[in-house]
Amino acid sequence: MRRQSAAATALWISNRVKLLIRSKAVSPLRSATALQIVMKLENRLALITGGGRGIGRAIAIAFAREGASVAVVARTLKQVRAVAKDIKKEFPVDALPLKCDVRNSESVSDAFHNFRRHFGRGPDIVVNNAGVAKSELFVKTDERFWEEHLNTNLGGTFRCTHAALPEMLERGWGRIINIASIAGKTGAPYISAYAASKHGVLGLTRSLAMEVAAQGITVNAICPGYVDTDMTSQGIENIVAKTGKSARQALKMLEQMSPQNRLVTAEEVAALAVLLASEDGRGINGQAINVDGGTVLF
Ligand code: NDP
């Protein structure tokens, strides 16, 4: 190959990878790996709750693409196994599926125990993503409904952070990334339990960030708008059932909440999670960053 500029070399690599994809020698999922010269999360260990589908799955894949080995955690073993299998097939990293209910401290403790047994140490990065979102009038919000939201969305974040932090403090390096919501910054009808849990996640994020700031650990939250996942599909089904609107109308309604007139993708949320998890993100701490196309402007 003739001597050429860095830009020309990058173009050559890019064209070469496109050719390989077209010839099916490299899958589109793997192509990003081929293009990476410096991987942002090389040799890092990450634990992602709610990693079996949606946003958590996208984050697990994005982390693996950047060189991290990951544990994919949720209650549905079939889903976490499938994600771990996909990752191991596509990337030269390890992926561990773990069954865990973040509402239960024993289950969380077992998951962290199994993580340490498998990888030899605790995670460098924890993504608290497991969540539930149901809507109900406040007057119909009973203790059980309230408890389900608070105990999963906020309690799960507390438990997994609590299980990971001591080792991060010992090592002097760590990343806690909490997937909150724009509902953590604003209120809306029918979501008092969900919004309360996500407001709580932001309070926890900001306070802990201050507590560990000088010890090499950052704690941040990501606040997505409506994301194209099963959770939003269920929301659409709910709107259809309660209002008689068609699914298309319900989807349009959610899209129009964003000035970009669209749902956010799970991959867009994952891209921010990669930045927060990386060395490049070390100056970002105690933040609650919206990925919402501008839906919430303060
Ligand atoms: P999904 O419903 O697609 O995925 C939720 C994940 O959380 C699943 O893997 C689920 O697995 C897991 N989970 C739920 N409860 C528990 C539990 N008790 N223990 C362990 N895992 C659990 O949702 P999304 O991917 O859309 O949402 C992910 C996060 O993003 C949530 O915290 C949500 O609040 C937040 N978010 C989502 C938005 C959206 O529009 N979709 C917008 C803003 C924020 P399993 O059921 O097998 O346990």
For 29-57, how does the pLDDT look when each residue is reduced to its tens digit (9 = 90+)? 555 555 545 899 999 999 999 999 999 99
Mean pLDDT of 99-110: 98
Q: Report CA-CA distances (Å) from 80 to 9, 53, 163, 229.
A: 38, 8, 20, 16
Element (H, E) at 288: strand 288-291
Is 293 a pocket residue for ligand 1 (Cβ < 6 Å)? no
Q: How far is the CA of 153 from the centre of ligand 1 (A)?
A: 9
Is 97 a pocket residue for ligand 1 (Cβ < 6 Å)? no
Query: In this structure, which residue's CA is closest to atom 2 in ligand 1?
Result: 231
3-class SS letters over 206-236: HHHHHHHHHHCEEEEEEEECCECCHHHHHHH
- Provide the percentage of residues in the chain whose pLDDT is more than 70: 87
Tokens of 15: 């064209």
Q: How far is the CA of 272 from the centre of ligand 1 (A)?
A: 17
Q: How many CB atoms lie within 10 A of CB 105?
A: 14
Query: In this structure, which residue's CA is closest to atom 39 in ligand 1?
Result: 227
Whether the predicted pLDDT of 13 surpasses 70: no
Q: How far is the CA of 260 from the centre of ligand 1 (A)?
A: 24
Is 222 a pocket residue for ligand 1 (Cβ < 6 Å)? no
Whether the predicted pLDDT of 26 surpasses 90: no
Give the pLDDT score at 38.
Answer: 82
Q: Which residue has the tokens 């407001």?
A: 199
DSSP class of residue 297 equals -
Tokens of 193: 């339990």
Tens digit of pLDDT for each residue in 176-201? 999 999 999 999 999 999 999 999 99
The question of whether 226 is a catalytic residue gets the answer no
To test ligand 1's pocket by mutation, which of 106, 128, 185, 229 has the most ligand atoms within 8 angstroms of CB?
Answer: 229
Element (H, E) at 107: helix 105-119
